[in-house]
Amino acid sequence: MKRVHILLVEDNPGDILLTTEALEDRKLVNEISVVRNGKEALDFLFKKNQYKDAHTPDLILLDINIPLLSGHEVLQKIKQDLRTKEIPVIVLTTSSAENDIRLSYQNHANCFITKPVDIDDFMKAILSIEDFWIQLVKLPSKIN
């Protein structure tokens, strides 16, 4: 089985708990890193400050509504840099606003998912992400 590292960019403690529990229960993901704001996300991805030794993730789950730098700003920087542009980014957010959807795809998000409010539906959405992006899709090799 392939090793997979997911970076979760999320500031809501409840969503962090649900997402990590869903991913850990299936045992398909070998590593989950969590950052809670846009600045930490970019520091992690570009190996700055406290994240100098961070491993490059295979997949990013990105909330749009995060502090310091918005998810849209983070996504734009990820997709403009040769070191990170090939990492698939799944926007996973409470927003269903057409503007957020459009802007996410304009900034080259790989997909946009509105978080279900119901806990069971939320868990199903996370497991669907895992089934598709980890088991079915061939991810690019890391450029470290």
Task: Determine, yes or no, domain membership for 87.
Answer: yes
Average pLDDT over residues 101-107: 96
Q: Tell me what pLDDT residue 31 has.
A: 86
Decide if 142 is inside a domain. no
At 43 the pLDDT is 97
Expressed as residue numbers, the domain containing 25 is 5-136
Asked if residue 130 is part of any domain, the answer here is yes
Q: Quick check: is 141 in a domain? A: no
Q: Could you tell me if residue 12 is inside a domain?
A: yes
CA distance 17 to 122: 12
What is the bridge-based pairing of β-strands 5-9 and 89-93?
Answer: unpaired
Reference 83, options 136, 119, 47; nearest CA is 47
Examine residue 143 and state whether it is found in any structural domain, yes or no: no
Per-residue model confidence (pLDDT) at position 28: 64
> Which CATH number characterizes residue 23's domain?
3.40.50.2300
Other CB atoms within 10 Å distance of the CB of residue 113: 16
Rounded to two decimals, the pTM is: 0.90
HEC secondary structure over the chain? CCCCEEEEECCCHHHHHHHHHHHHHHCCCCEEEEECCHHHHHHHHCCCHHHCCCCCCCEEEECCCCCCCCHHHHHHHHHHCCCCCCCCEEEEECCCCHHHHHHHHHCCCCEEEECCCCHHHHHHHHHHHHHHHHHHCCCCCCCC
Q: What is the pLDDT of residues 18-60, one digit of tens each?
A: 888 888 776 666 789 999 999 999 999 999 999 999 999 999 9
Say how many domains are in the chain.
Answer: 1
Residues in the chain: 144
- Is 131 contained in some domain? yes
